[in-house]
Amino acid sequence: MQNFMRDAAQFMPLLLQGLKFTILVTAGSLLLSSLLGLVWALMRVSGIAWLAMIAKLVVNTLRGIPILVQLFYLYFVMPEFGLRLTALEAAILGLGIAYSAYQSENFRAGIEAVDHGQIEAAQSIGMGWGLMMRRVVLPQAIKIILPPYGNIMIMMLKDSSQASTITVAELTLQGSLIASSTFKNMTVYTLVALLYLSMSLPLIAFVGWLERRFGKGTKR
């Protein structure tokens, strides 16, 4: 135990540097995937056939290509077309675009679960599509969306480790480098696991709080 604590004190500063990049990749890709996912979802439920078809094609394409391949394509292939991204930019863009497909399905399910009678009532008082979405549909869809959205957040946090494959020095890559140079595999990967857990548990608690908060709000 003493050896573990001594090694942990030695390795932790380097792991915390990697943790910073893990948080950056997760937060950036979460924001991007949420924005893009909402766009795809709104296109799907817009009632405009060609918009829905484009969104469906994009979502199915993104879901059919492994995240790792999308990261490689952005970082290694796109420079051949004149688009050069840093490893961090490619990681955020790649994960954000990949997860926008899953966010889209989550948002669409929440929107379609809203009582159709309320949509008809909004239309009957002259609300346009955009106003109806902002005032009636999306506020109610949020409560439905939150539980799977929380799961997506956790998945993105864990999948941020794939950024190590394009040389982003995030937590997993830092752990691998330390383990390969010190051969303290048990200590290093235990610390890595604990750091991931320390980020996941607050996210789970936060999503639970949001569910209770929105749930109470809808009963008043």
Closest CA to 164 of 98, 94, 96: 94
pTM (predicted TM-score) = 0.87
Q: What are phi and psi of 126, to 5 degrees?
A: 90, 15
Count of domains in the chain? 1
Residue 135 domain-assigned (yes or no): yes
d(CA 204, CA 150): 7
d(CA 43, CA 68): 27
Q: Does residue 215 register a pLDDT over 70?
A: no
Residue 48 domain-assigned (yes or no): yes
What would the pLDDT profile of 107-123 be if each residue is shown by its tens digit?
A: 999 999 888 888 888 88
d(CA 144, CA 41): 14
Which residue range is the domain that position 36 belongs to?
Answer: 13-219
Burial of 76 (0-12, 13-18, 19+ CB in 10 A): exposed
Residue 76 domain-assigned (yes or no): yes
CATH of the domain at 121: 1.10.3720.10
Q: In the chain, what percentage of residues exceed pLDDT 70? A: 96
Residue 41 domain-assigned (yes or no): yes
What would the pLDDT profile of 50-98 be if each residue is shown by its tens digit?
A: 999 999 999 999 999 999 999 999 999 999 999 999 999 999 999 999 9
Residue 7 domain-assigned (yes or no): no
219: pLDDT confidence band, cut at 50, 70 and 90? very low
